[in-house]
Amino acid sequence: MTFSVQPVDTALDAALRAKIDGKTKPLGALGRLEDLALQIGRVRGSLTPTLNQPHLVVFAGDHGAAKAGISAFPQDVTWQMVENFLAGGAAINVFARANGIALTVVDAGVAHDFGDRPGLVDAKQAVGAVSVQANVSAANVMPEPKVGAGGTASYLDGAAMTAEQCSTAMKRGAAIAAELADKGCEVVGFGEMGIGNTASAALLTHCLSGAPLADCVGRGTGLDDAGLARKTVLLQQALTLWSERNDDPLTVLARYGGFEIAMMAGAMLAAAQRKMLILVDGFICGAAALVAARLAPAFLDYAVFSHLSREPGHRLQLDALGVEPLLDLDLRLGEGTGAALAWPLVRAACAFLNEMASFESAGVSEKL
């Protein structure tokens, strides 16, 4: 599978910088917002960019390894939280509503049969199924057979996914992002839900960044010291089991990833292909972004890293990618909450670029 992402066009850089510097403020006085405004102008290819129809997509998936006790919560919490999303009661629902962001929930591979539900995109893989495309409009999705369908296999026993399953998940994520673009969405944020997915993200971070495994492993949903030690030991065993280990991003993703992480990676790459601004949430979304950036480095031109998670591996991801987050609020919830909270800053950066007066237009004297 190949994803070709073109770097942003920098032809407007001089004009964008002149426009930003010419606003009624001291040079550089809006700090990081000025860099953000430049990035928005580049991504949208305009001196007067728009960010219409902001949308958040939350991908949910189960992990076979979760049954071994790598999380403080039981695996059933994944499907229970999806129900909470659909009922509008989770933090991401609240933050999306507060900030005027549309929200889509995707069953990327939850070990539960939700049936045909309004507001839920069924992108789950049935056993042996490899070619059904997901659709953002839930009513248009043809449901697959659910016999044996669910989350990934356990990477404590072998690969979490086959190469074919990983490819299919990425293609389904890409189809979701492409449909959003077709409907006029210009900025998309990503979130996730999946008990055990901080463990998966830790393995991906270790393999793709080279950081020591112990530095990548965190408490996830709230493990105590004994639980954290057990989690680290299990993940080290998973690494030892892979005798033919390499750093190919797709191979690593199939070995240790979750369906929700694979779909996010595909969706991020497709969004970059369509020149959408991408809001990346925390640690698990960061793992998907790490995969995306390894496959297509130009992806980073389109990505805004919303916040710094309290999961220790997230700082390592950001350092490996050479990026800085907008916010540092000690968040560790996931769901896309950091992306939703960063959206007002992104919107403000775009607004000042478009609406703030210049020294010339306002008749204000410039610096001597």
The residue that leads in pLDDT, 69 or 328, is 328
Q: Is the pLDDT of residue 276 over 90?
A: yes
Task: Please compute the mean of the pLDDT values over residues 267-291 and round it to a whole number.
Answer: 98
All structural domains of the chain: 13-49+354-362 (no CATH), 55-348 (3.40.50.10210)
Q: Is the pLDDT of residue 316 over 50?
A: yes
368 — pLDDT class (breaks 50, 70, 90): low
- Structure confidence by residue, pLDDT tens digits, 118-147: 889 999 985 433 333 333 443 333 233 233
- Structure confidence by residue, pLDDT tens digits, 284-307: 999 999 999 999 999 999 999 999
Burial 6-21 (b: 16+ CB within 10 A, else e): eebeeebeeebeebbe
- Structure confidence by residue, pLDDT tens digits, 46-82: 999 999 999 999 999 999 999 888 888 899 999 999 9
Catalytically annotated residue among 335, 355, 360, 366: 335
Q: In which order are the strands placed within the sheet that holds 277-280?
A: 120-122, 102-109, 55-61, 187-193, 277-280, 303-305
**What confidence score (pLDDT) does residue 150 get?**
81
Short-list 335, 49, 28, CA closest to 192: 335
**What confidence score (pLDDT) does residue 361 get?**
81
**What confidence score (pLDDT) does residue 1 get?**
61
Short-list 237, 219, 236, CA closest to 228: 219
CA dihedral of 88, 93, 97, 99, whole degrees rounded to 10: 180
Percent of the chain with pLDDT over 90: 83
**What confidence score (pLDDT) does residue 135 get?**
38
**What confidence score (pLDDT) does residue 350 get?**
98
Handedness of CA 297, 300, 306, 312 (dihedral sign): positive
Instruction: Report the range of poorest mean pLDDT among 146-150, 152-156, 183-187, 236-240.
Output: 146-150
CA distance 41 to 249: 30
Q: Confirm whether 335 is a catalytic residue.
A: yes
CA dihedral of 180, 103, 197, 153, whole degrees rounded to 10: -60
- Structure confidence by residue, pLDDT tens digits, 199-249: 999 999 999 999 999 999 999 888 899 989 999 999 999 999 998 889 999
